[in-house]
Amino acid sequence: MREPTRRLAAVLAAACLPGAALAAAPDGARQEALLHLLRQDCGACHGMTLKGGLGPSLLPGALAGKDAADLALVVLEGLPGTPMPPWKVELSPEEAAWLVDRLKAGVGP
Ligand code: HEC
């Protein structure tokens, strides 16, 4: 590849990649922010280690057998009549799904 072409390809890749990542799953920096939110905000009710507090345990064992899409919906919409608030202002559906996947896999303290 000639040098100007190679440079153009690099610029295009840098310009396109973050957007592509955002549409599918959160990118690296956003993943960090989401895990921070999980520990700080979700942890306030579900416990610092997510083993339960005011809200139930969000550890893999507690979530096993529960549908990931249902759980993501709970995160987005909250559970009316309970302290579980809706997060759809802060989180996109993709981000809620990503968080539920992390929870089911076990994010650790
Ligand atoms: C103000 C307290 C509070 C905060 C903050 C909170 N939750 Fe909850 N959450 C609850 C309570 C209470 C319930 C259980 C409600 C019920 O069913 O009675 C719950 C339920 C859930 C459930 C359903 C669990 C199950 O086993 O069905 C999920 C998933 C969940 N929360 C995830 C989150 C996530 C992710 C966050 C942060 C983005 C979060 N919660 C923040 C209080 C909270």
User: What was the pLDDT predicted at 20?
Assistant: 42
> How many other C-beta atoms can be found within 10 angstroms of the C-beta atom of residue 39?
16
Question: What confidence score (pLDDT) does residue 107 get?
Answer: 87
**Best probe residue, ligand 1, of 34, 37, 46, 102 (max atoms within 8 Å of C-beta):** 46
For residue 11, being part of any structural domain is answered with no
CATH assignment at residue 51: 1.10.760.10
25 CB neighbour count, 10 Å cutoff: 13
* Count of structural domains, the chain: 1
Q: What is the mean pLDDT of the chain?
A: 85
CA of 37 to the centre of ligand 1 (A): 13
Please tell me the predicted confidence (pLDDT) of residue 109.
53
Given this model, what pLDDT does residue 18 score? 45
The pTM score is: 0.82
Give the separation between CA 26 and CA 57, rounded to whole angstroms: 24
Residue 100 belongs to domain spanning: 26-105
- The residue whose CA is least distant from atom 42 of ligand 1 is 84
21 lies in a domain?
no
Residue 33 is assigned to a structural domain of this protein: yes
Q: Is residue 86 within 6 Å of ligand 1 at its C-beta?
A: no
Residue 14 within any structural domain of the chain = no
Q: Is 9 in the pocket of ligand 1 (CB under 6 A)?
A: no
Strands (E) across the chain are located at: none
Q: Is residue 37 part of a domain?
A: yes
75 pocket-lining for ligand 1 (C-beta < 6 Å):
yes
Distance from Cα 35 to the centre of ligand 1, integer Å: 15
Whether residue 83 is contained in a domain is answered as yes
In a domain, 19, yes or no: no
Does residue 20 sit within a domain? no
pLDDT digits (tens), the chain, 109 positions: 565 555 555 544 444 444 444 446 899 999 999 999 999 999 999 999 999 999 999 999 999 999 999 999 999 999 999 999 999 999 999 999 999 999 999 986 5
